[in-house]
Amino acid sequence: MAAVKPFLCIRPNREAADKVAALPYDVYNRREACAAVAGNPLSFLNIDRPETQFPDDVDTYDDRVYGKARELLDGRIADGTFVEDGQECYYIYRLTMDGRAQTGIVACCSIDDYVDGVIKKHENTREDKEIDRIRHVDTTNAHTGPIFLAYRADRAVNRVVDEVTAGDPLYDFVSEDGIGHTVWKVEDPQQNGRIEAAFAAIPATYIADGHHRAASAVKVGLKRREENPGYTGEEPFNYFLSVLFPDEQLMILPYNRVVKDLNGMDEAGFLAAVGEHFTVEKMDGPYAPDEKGLFGMYLGGSWYKLAAGAECRSYDPVKGLDVSILQDRLLGPVLGIGDPRTDKRIDFIGGIRGLGELERRVKEDMTVAFSMYPTSIKELLNVADAGLLMPPKSTWFEPKLRSGLFIHRLG
């Protein structure tokens, strides 16, 4: 059963919250991060991506960079930009995009639940990405970016959320990208107790987004245990910062693909090869699939609708995913993309950017693009429940959690 705990939160004061809140560190490259923090010294991206405070000739992973993150965080606490709440509690965090809302519980989750599989995963992680966040968490002594978790909707949790959100919010603002952010503090001890008891009866939670952040947070916690052999298990470093959302509220956007070349074929030969497992229909304009088993393809200035043949379908939780069908029947055997994690000929584009971004990339530096039907939250849970892994770049969640609104110190 899931150990989901209230915690002592460090958070922005009310006046600073909208200026502090920042998109996750990993949606930016270094150049983009520098541009994003320009003119906003309070943006939490300054702390999450502290290389923005140095000239380009200072390596992103220089020891001074991580030291700067700690310096900035401690400075913001000292000057009152961040305040420390004096009681352990939960928070309710609602994000609203295009009139659609999802409401989650801000809490700390157990590193033991991660190790024991109560927190279920659906992606592999890369060690190089983990090392960066391990150093960041360890040096700042804080979890600064929450892990996006999902759980199967629970009536008991919903009832407390409804009660708390009927009151006045702690924060309520709209970020520059038009996303609404509303936060409530759960101050009533009885309500906090009911949330904890409800999650204790939930058999599993699921990482929706943030596999690398979760793995890094857990490894720092295990490192702290080694450094403190007399630990009890209740120390803050035994838990990591999360926001947990009910599955029924989550929306996954497609994760589209673009490929550099046709693997030595001309367009006619490529289309013939695609036709071995897909029905190919030329369209009058841009095409986004509206059901599973269908794919859009942009090639040579034209859009095509691809329908996977019956032999491509599978009841296997992973092989039946559209991202698997495209990889196993087209990207791999036809275009020669053997490992999409490492192959430099393929790139991935979040569905939030639209089909126009696919056309732009093909005109600029790619040859063919594929628009996908989004993986469903049910498919994600089924894969995780089966103990399996999704292909890379299977899901794109929107809206994104903001960093900096909640901070959990490790001790």
Do 18 and 70 share a domain, yes or no? yes
pLDDT at 177: 93
Mean pLDDT, to the nearest integer, of 108-135? 92
Amino acid identity, residue 13? N
Q: Residue 252 above 90 pLDDT?
A: yes
Does residue 186 fall inside a structural domain?
Answer: yes
Q: What is the largest CA-CA distance in the chain?
A: 68
Do 200 and 290 share a domain, yes or no? no
Whole-angstrom distance, CA of residue 80 vs CA of residue 10: 11
pLDDT in tens, 2-11: 999 999 999 9
Does residue 378 fall inside a structural domain?
Answer: no
pLDDT at 160: 98
CATH of the domain at 74: 3.90.1530.10
Q: Which two tokens stand for residue 114?
A: 């991660």
Range of the domain at 369: 255-373
* Tally of structural domains, the chain: 2
Other C-beta atoms lying within 10 Å of the C-beta of residue 34: 17
Whole-angstrom distance, CA of residue 90 vs CA of residue 11: 13
Does residue 317 fall inside a structural domain?
Answer: yes
Pairing label, strands 239-246, 147-151 = parallel
Q: What are phi and psi of 203, to 5 degrees?
A: -70, -25
Beta bridge partners of 174: 180
Whole-angstrom distance, CA of residue 91 vs CA of residue 106: 5
Q: Residue 356 above 90 pLDDT?
A: yes
Do 280 and 242 share a domain, yes or no? no
Does residue 163 fall inside a structural domain?
Answer: yes
Q: Residue 21 above 90 pLDDT?
A: yes
Alpha-helical runs (H) found in 202-321 = 211-227, 267-274
- Which residues are CB-neighbours of 42 under 8 A, at least 6 positions away? 16, 19, 20, 76, 81
pTM exceeds 0.85, yes or no: yes
- Quick one: which of 91, 108, 120 has its CA closest to 377? 120
Give DSSP secondary structure letters for 86-106: SS-B-EEEEEEETTEEEEEEE
Do 243 and 346 share a domain, yes or no? no
Distances (CA, A) of 404 to 19, 211, 248, 289, 387: 10, 19, 26, 36, 32
Q: Are 357 and 260 spatial neighbours (Cβ–Cβ below 8 Å)?
A: no
Q: Residue 27 above 90 pLDDT?
A: no
Q: Are 47 and 72 spatial neighbours (Cβ–Cβ below 8 Å)?
A: yes
Q: Find where tokens 């391990």 sit.
A: 134
CATH of the domain at 356: 3.30.1760
Does residue 302 fall inside a structural domain?
Answer: yes
Q: Are 219 and 213 spatial neighbours (Cβ–Cβ below 8 Å)?
A: no
Do 185 and 60 share a domain, yes or no? yes
pLDDT at 125: 83
pLDDT-derived band at 302 (thresholds 50, 70, 90) equals very high
Q: Which two tokens stand for residue 286?
A: 């841009």
pLDDT-derived band at 123 (thresholds 50, 70, 90) equals confident
Do 166 and 281 share a domain, yes or no? no
- Quick one: which of 306, 299, 301, 303 has its CA closest to 275? 306
Secondary structure class of 233 (helix, strand, coil): coil
Do 187 and 327 share a domain, yes or no? no
Q: Find where tokens 């030595």 sit.
A: 264
pLDDT at 386: 95
Mean pLDDT, to the nearest integer, of 129-157? 95
- Which residues are CB-neighbours of 111 under 8 A, at least 6 positions away? 217, 218, 221, 222, 238, 239, 240
Mean pLDDT, to the nearest integer, of 96-104? 96
Whole-angstrom distance, CA of residue 371 vs CA of residue 51: 34
Q: How many residues does the chain have?
A: 411
Q: Which 8-state DSSP code applies to residue 401? A: P
Does residue 348 fall inside a structural domain?
Answer: yes
pLDDT at 193: 98
Whole-angstrom distance, CA of residue 390 vs CA of residue 368: 23
Does residue 393 fall inside a structural domain?
Answer: no
Share of the chain above pLDDT 90, in %: 94
pLDDT in tens, 35-55: 999 989 999 999 999 999 999
Does residue 154 fall inside a structural domain?
Answer: yes
pLDDT-derived band at 180 (thresholds 50, 70, 90) equals very high
Pairing label, strands 278-282, 302-308 = antiparallel
pLDDT in tens, 280-299: 999 999 999 999 999 999 99
- Which residues are CB-neighbours of 170 under 8 A, at least 6 positions away? 14, 91, 183, 184, 185
